[in-house]
Chain A
Amino acid sequence: MRFIWLALLVLVFPVSAQEELSAKAWLENMSLALKGQEFKMSLIHLQADHIRPLVYIHGMVDEHEVAFLEHLNGPPKNVVRVANTVTFIEHDQPAYSVRADRIQGVLPPAFAGSIADLESGYQFVLGGRSRLAGRPGQLVRIIPNDDNRYSYQVWLDMDTYLPLRYDMLNLEKQLLEQVLVVELIVLDDAPAILHEAYKQDWPEIMPQPQREQADNWQFKWLPQGFKILVKDNHRLIGSHEAVEYIALSDGLVNISVYVARAGETALPDELMTRNGLSLATERVGNAEVVAVGKVPAETLSRIAKSITIE
């Protein structure tokens, strides 16, 4: 009799365990899955007037994470990651490597990071279930605590916890950006291409640009959860204009704040691109503060206004 109960418990438990998972637990499982599972996903990256098909392959070779991202349309453009080295292979410039622990261009790297870090700015809410890429998916909404940033929703595969769809929505719940998995193949072993990538000699990691000690910029106001990541001064790549640079992040979104001598042509006070990236400018005397990031332009404007020097 006891054995029967035990068997029943073993049979029933995995099902009921998934039923009772909290939204945060779903996201934490996703984070683990993105780091540890071996899979190949074909996906589409949608922005307002832009559709980009991609293939992402992830696996483990000799206990190291190896990932490969390929752009399928247009000139060849691939990204390879072996452990903490990310190499960009693009048609218009020689391949170069940087140190990073995720490839950008698929999903927010925060999805594979610590989910608890996002809790200061967002709430996680379980949504309904629907079928995506031929698999049952569970919706988890990532809702900001305030109107200073956009909301997100992600559908997770119920078997593997891998993301099947990711949406970024503006304050009016309109879609700004979407990543849609078309096909997800769970692999038993890392495919040959990842073994090749692991063996290959990739360019040396680019020496970090000199992080010159910047002035001690502070903010009188930041949306809850945002922290200063980096401060430096460098020259803009296009115009070689010298700027003071501050990187802000709430775990999911990055904002760049620049302080520069005001140019001859004033920048617009607020500007929004169709892919969700906004820009705000604030003139202070003969200097201008420019904030760029995927948050509402009003937020950037408020951040730009609140900067002070100590």
Chain B
Amino acid sequence: MDKLGQEWVSAAVDGEVDEQVLAELAADTDSHEKWRDYHMIGDAMRGELPAAINLDLSANIAAAIELEPSILVPKRVDAPEETPQELPQHKLASVVPLFKQFGQYAIAASVALVAVIGVQNYNQGGVEDAAPMPVLNTRPLIGSASPVSLQTGPVQQNQSYTNERVMEQRHRINTYIQDHMLQQRLNNSANIDDNSEPTPVPVNH
């Protein structure tokens, strides 16, 4: 390191050079030590030395920068080492996580859709059934015993049914359904199927 070079660094420390010279200094690693020493000397003269002097600050910072994960910068692709077949695979690998996430959203969305449609169907089921044929509400809602809602079908419409006769009809329907459910319990075969217990169907008397 010649005398000229030292002066040059010293001038840089004092801020007496232009940008281009600073850039040159940054590139010249050999002058970094000088740069540090001149700063140290300057600090000592001004009485600004810290309690503990870390002599290799710039190296520490450099090491810290080296260790820092590069978040925003994409991974360098070692193009020359790769064969053309490997290249798309590599690219795919970086794309997959995005797709995975997207897929999860898609699945979640479809589940929500199915759930919504399912619930709607479920709620509408009874209403839709009501249109073509009479509906008998055999079970009360939990907590409140809602009365049987038997809607008169086309058969009964051409006859003038009194309220009493509708009750009688409901009662007869209930006895048949109740008996059907009871028979499920009594028929002692393996293939008994009925998930319902023979609780009396609510009838308005």
Give A residues with C-beta under 8 Å from B: 45, 47-51, 73-74, 77, 86, 88, 98-102, 104-110, 112-114, 117, 170, 174-177, 179, 208-209, 229-230, 236-239, 241, 243, 245, 247, 249, 251-254, 256, 258, 263-275, 277, 279, 290, 292-294, 297
Nearest CB on B from A136, distance (A)? 15
Nearest CB on B from A259, distance (A)? 12
28 contacts between A and B (CB under 8 A): A47-B139, A50-B142, A86-B185, A98-B188, A102-B192, A104-B184, A104-B194, A108-B195, A177-B195, A236-B175, A237-B182, A239-B172, A241-B175, A249-B189, A253-B193, A254-B184, A254-B194, A256-B183, A265-B168, A267-B172, A268-B133, A270-B134, A273-B135, A273-B137, A274-B125, A277-B177, A277-B180, A277-B196
Do A105 and B188 contact each other (CB < 8 Å), given the known contacts A237-B182, A239-B175, A266-B155? no
Residues of A within 8 A of B178 (CB): 236-238
Residues of B within 8 A of A290 (CB): 176
Residues of B within 8 A of A263 (CB): 168, 172
B129, B173, B180, B193: which contacts A274 (Cβ < 8 A)? B129
The 8 closest A-B pairs by CB, nearest first: A238-B175, A292-B180, A256-B180, A274-B126, A113-B190, A108-B193, A265-B168, A99-B188
B134, B187, B190, B195: which contacts A106 (Cβ < 8 A)? B195
B133, B142, B184, B190: which contacts A101 (Cβ < 8 A)? B190
Give B residues with C-beta under 8 Å from A: 118, 121-122, 125-126, 128-129, 133-139, 141-142, 153, 155-156, 165, 168-169, 171-180, 182-197, 200
A170, B134: Cα distance in complex, Å: 17
A264, B165: Cα distance in complex, Å: 9
Asked whether, in the complex, the Cβ of B193 is within 8 Å of the Cβ of A252, the reply is yes
Residues of B within 8 A of A277 (CB): 138, 177, 180, 196
B155, B185, B193: which contacts A269 (Cβ < 8 A)? B155
Other 19 A-B pairs with CB < 8 A, given A100-B188, A268-B134, A294-B194: A48-B122, A98-B188, A99-B188, A100-B185, A104-B193, A106-B195, A113-B190, A174-B122, A229-B191, A238-B171, A238-B174, A251-B191, A254-B192, A271-B133, A272-B133, A273-B136, A273-B138, A274-B139, A275-B196
